[in-house]
Amino acid sequence: AQTVTQSQPEMSVQEAETVTLSCTYDTSESDYYLFWYKQPPSRQMILVIRQEAYKQQNATENRFSVNFQKAAKSFSLKISDSQLGDAAMYFCAYRSAISGGSNYKLTFGKGTLLTVNP
């Protein structure tokens, strides 16, 4: 079974600065997806960024980028120019690329609570 570990329960960053959230995972599969979701105080889960394991290029979405190290099974999220609205719980998640049934489910880490200081 796959596992996802987020070793930083809480992080803080100054507004306009850069912060990196860590995520490691364990899997025996070679093809899979990785995600970062954001959960603000409203508790709505919002997709931040996704990465396909077969792609070597790191995904980017505006101020959000990832450092995907497949051999090390590491998937960190970098937030540049942090804004007050970035304050939220961030979850790393894994999904198998194998089709069918339970393979579509997401396995989540326990989350990192990000505080942005003005």
Partner 1 sequence: SQTIHQWPATLVQPVGSPLSLECTVEGTSNPNLYWYRQAAGRGLQLLFYSVGIGQISSEVPQNLSASRPQDRQFILSSKKLLLSDSGFYLCAWTPFGGREWAEQFFGPGTRLTVL
Contact residues for partner 1 (CB under 8 A)?
A: 33, 35, 42-45, 47, 50, 52, 89, 91, 95, 97, 99, 101-102, 104-111
Question: What is the Cα Rg of the chain in Å?
Answer: 14
At closest approach, how far in Å is the CB of 4 from partner 1?
9
Return the closest-CA partner of residue 31 out of 96, 78, 101: 96
Give the nearer residue to partner 1 in terms of CB position, either 7 or 44. 44
**Nearer Cβ to partner 1, position 85 or 101?**
101
Residue 101 dihedral angles phi and psi, to the nearest 5°: 45, -125
Contact (CB, 8 A) for 22 and 109? no
82 versus 111: smaller Cβ distance to partner 1 = 111
